[in-house]
A and B are shown apart, each in its own frame.
Chain A
Amino acid sequence: MHSKLNSLLKSDVRLEEGLTACMNCGICTAICPAAEYFEYDPRSIAVTVQSGNEEEIATLLESDTIWYCGQCMSCKTRCPRNNCPGLIISVLRKVSQETGAFVQSRMGRQQYLIVKNIGMNILNYGYCVHPTILMPENHPEQGPVWKWVYENMGEVYASVGANLNGDGPGAMRKISGADLGELHRIFKESGGLKFYETIEHFSKIKALELGFVNENGEADMEKYTQHLLQEI
């Protein structure tokens, strides 16, 4: 698998855009919001990918490191060589998920949670986020006003002129079945669904490896999810 990593990375056009030639100036790390809080250095990631050292890249794909980036793309603005470490990270993350390396790291494993949350929202609602699933108990930081909105959802949205779950246009309107159907087919055609499945597939293997098995001998993804939520 490792011998192919470089070609896997290079097959993504975003790598060509993201990495021309790094001169190690550190301008990206200087303003990186993630570098300030994590053992994370976008410069060294760019250098590792630039070096083409498959062993180091493989380590990177299995590590928490690549998952620290917050994708703010501040690095893109400043680079004197027109590189974009954030984009390199995107490609690394994609390859990490395609090869299953992501389940080796705590941060990587969380991708399963995102698929189950945002991923499913997109397919179910046509929105990335939807008020009905923003439960105050999972979002204490949203505060009492959101709690009030959540508990009086229909009335509040209507009072400000939104069209919550309604037909026709407007904020938070219901995306019609026909449009959701098109979205589904796009996901199927363009590899989006397959990507979801890949993430689930490797997550199941990991769940089994961690001993989350139900009575049928299959992976118990409910327990795995709980495990991921608590894993620090």
Chain B
Amino acid sequence: MEDFSFLNPGSRQIDFDNFDDRLLLYVLEYEPSFVTCISCGGCTATCSAGNLTNFNVRKIGLWLRRGETEKLSQEIEKCMFCGKCTLVCPRDINIRNVILLIKKRISELKTENQPV
């Protein structure tokens, strides 16, 4: 019988018991300062790319913490690396490195996941 496509849309609920934390652990290994983020949004407010489009650095951090790698890898391409975020961060998080690490890991994952 028809299924009303009832699993679509699937749950948007963040399921803390099942999420892909590989990217997060990678970033935390090389940039432990990320753990101190307080989501103040200072980075987003100053962001050069965010001034031109709906790019949101704070959300990048949140997605990273919730394992939303898919969303993240799309969004992170908008970053211009200008480094303003790092300069305004009240917790002195090296955000620029966080983004570099994400990019690195995503490119690695892409190659790893490619069919041989």
Contacts and interface: CB of A to CB of B under 8 A. Distances in A.
Interface stretch (A33-41, A145-153, A157-165): A33-41
B110 interface: no
Contacts of A36: 11-13
A141 B12 contact: no
Contacts of A37: 9-12
**Which secondary structure dominates where chain B touches chain A?**
loop
Contacts of B11: 36-37
Nearest to A30: B13
B104 to A, nearest CB: 30
B15 to A, nearest CB: 10
Nearest to A143: B1
Contacts, number: 14
Interface in A80-110: none
A11 B36 CA distance: 46
Interface in A14-42: 35-39
Nearest to A40: B12
Contacts of B1: 140
B106 to A, nearest CB: 24
B4 A38 contact: no
B5 to A, nearest CB: 9
A39 B11 CA distance: 10
A36 B13 CA distance: 5
B112 interface: no
Interface in A117-138: none
B64 to A, nearest CB: 20
Given A37-B9, A37-B10, 12 more contacts: A35-B12, A36-B11, A36-B12, A36-B13, A37-B11, A37-B12, A38-B9, A38-B12, A39-B12, A140-B1, A140-B2, A141-B4
14 contacts: A35-B12, A36-B11, A36-B12, A36-B13, A37-B9, A37-B10, A37-B11, A37-B12, A38-B9, A38-B12, A39-B12, A140-B1, A140-B2, A141-B4
**Pairs A-B, 6 closest by C-beta atoms:** A36-B13, A36-B11, A37-B9, A36-B12, A140-B1, A140-B2
